[in-house]
Chains A and B, each alone.
Chain A
Amino acid sequence: MAHPLPLSETSSDAALILAWQSGDEQAAAELVGRHARPLARFLAGAGAPEADVDDLVQETFIRAFRSVDRFRGQCQFRTWLLTIGGNVLKDFGRRAARRKVMPLDEAVRDVTGDPHEHAEASEAEELLAAGLQKLPRLQREVFLLRAQQGLEYDEIAAALHTTPGAARVHYHHAVRKLKEIVE
C-alpha cells in the first residue's frame, strides 16, 4: 500500500505506527529494525534461552502490532514493546513448564550454541543472569529496564502501571539481592 510520506530513519515511531495502522508493511519492518536488538537483549537478560530469542522477538512484535491500537503513547514505543516482551517470555515459560521442558532459570544457562562463546561470558555475567531468575518478575523487569535499557523511573512506571516511587523501590530491592548473589 502506498504511503503519503516516504519513510526514513528520521520518521518518528509514532509516524511509523500510524503508517502501519493504515496498512504500510514497510513501516512495520522499520519498527522491527529499530527495536529488535534492544528487545533481544531484554529477553535474553530476562531469561530467554538464546536459541529461542529470535522466535520470542518475532512473537513480541506480532503481539505489539496486533494490539497497537491500545498503545496510547503513555511511554515510548520501545518501553511498551519491552513490557509485551516480558509477557511473551512469561507465556513461553508456562508452555515450557507444561511440556516438562527445563524451567526458565535452567534454560537461561542452556549451553546450545558455540561452547567457546559461552566460555567467554564472564562468571559475573552468568551469576547476574542466574540471580535475575531468582527475583520476582516485577523486580527483574524494573532492574533490566533501568540498568540494561537505561530508562528513567517515570518511564518504567508508566510502562508497568506503577508509580515512579514504587519502581525505585523495586529497583533497589533487586540491586540489594543481586549484589548478594554476584558477590
Chain B
Amino acid sequence: MNDEARLENLAKRLGARAAERLDVEATARKVVERLREQPVRRIVWIQQTWLRIAAALVVLVGGSVVVSRLTPTRSGDSPAHGAHFVADDLNDLSTEQLRDVLATFDELVKSDSVAAPEGNTDLRDLDARQLRAVLRSLEG
C-alpha cells in the first residue's frame, strides 16, 4: 500500500468514534426543536435591509439636491440663463407691461446708457417691438 492510500485509510477512520457516539435521533429532535423555537427572521431582516437602503437613498438624493442648490453656477452660465429667461418672459408681456418694466428701469438706470431708438426719448411713443428692443439692450 502506498503512502497516499495509507493516509486515505487513516482519514476514513478519523472521527469515526465521534460519529458512532452521536445519537442521531436525539440530534434530529433537538435540531427540529431549535428550528421551531427560533423561527427564521428573514422577513424582518429583509424589511430592515430595505428600510436601510431607502434611508440611504433619501440621504443621498436629499444631499445632492442641497449641494446642487448651494453650489454657485459657473460665472459664464448665470447671465446667459438669466437673459434667456428674461427674453422668454418679454415675449409674454403686453405693451403696457413692457412700458412699466422700462419705466422701472428708467428710474434705476440713467437714460444715457440705454440704446433707445434715435429721436425717441419718450417711452409712451414706442410700440411693443421697439420697447422689447430697448429692454433687450438693457439686458446687455
Chain A residues at the B interface, C-beta cutoff of 8 Å:
25, 28-30, 32-33, 36-38, 40-45, 48, 50, 53-54, 57-58, 61-62, 65-66, 117, 121-122, 124-125, 128-129, 132, 143-144, 147-148, 175, 178-179, 182-183
Stretch binding the partner chain, chosen from B34-42, B71-79, B98-106: B34-42
Name which of A36, A50, A122 has the most chain B CB atoms within 10 A of its CB: A36
Interface centre among B15, B16, B25, B27 (most CB of A within 10 A): B15
Q: Which positions 50-99 of chain B face chain A at CB distance < 8 Å?
A: none
Which single member of B3, B11, B23, B38 contacts A143 (CB below 8 Å)? B11
A37 to chain B, nearest CB (A): 4
B positions within 8 Å CB-CB of A? 3-4, 6-8, 10-25, 27-32, 34-36, 38, 40, 42
How many interface contacts (CB-CB < 8 Å) are there between A and B? 113
Interface SS majority for chain A: helix
Q: Are B7 and A32 within 8 A (Cβ)?
A: no
Pair B24/A147 contact, Cβ less than 8 Å: no
Partner of A28, one of B3, B12, B35, B42: B35
Chief secondary structure at chain B's binding surface: helix
Q: In the complex, A40 Cα to B25 Cα: how many Å?
A: 14
Residues of B within 8 A of A179 (CB): 3-4, 7
Q: Closest CB of chain B to A43's CB: distance in Å?
A: 7
The answer to whether A128 touches B14 (Cβ under 8 A) is yes
Indicate if the CB atoms of A44 and B19 lie closer than 8 Å. Answer: yes
Please give me the 3 A-B residue pairs with the lowest Cβ-Cβ distance, nearest first.
A44-B15, A41-B15, A44-B18
Instruction: Please list 22 pairs of residues, one from A and one from B, whose beta carbons are closer than 8 Å in the complex, sorted by A's number.
Output: A25-B32, A25-B35, A28-B28, A28-B35, A29-B31, A36-B22, A40-B22, A48-B18, A50-B21, A53-B21, A54-B27, A62-B35, A125-B14, A128-B7, A128-B14, A132-B14, A143-B11, A147-B8, A148-B14, A175-B4, A179-B7, A182-B6
What residues of chain A lie closer than 8 Å to B19, measured between beta carbons?
A: 37-38, 40-41, 44
Would you call B28 and A33 a contact (CB within 8 A)? yes
- Residues from chain A with a CB closer than 8 A to the CB of B21 are 50, 53
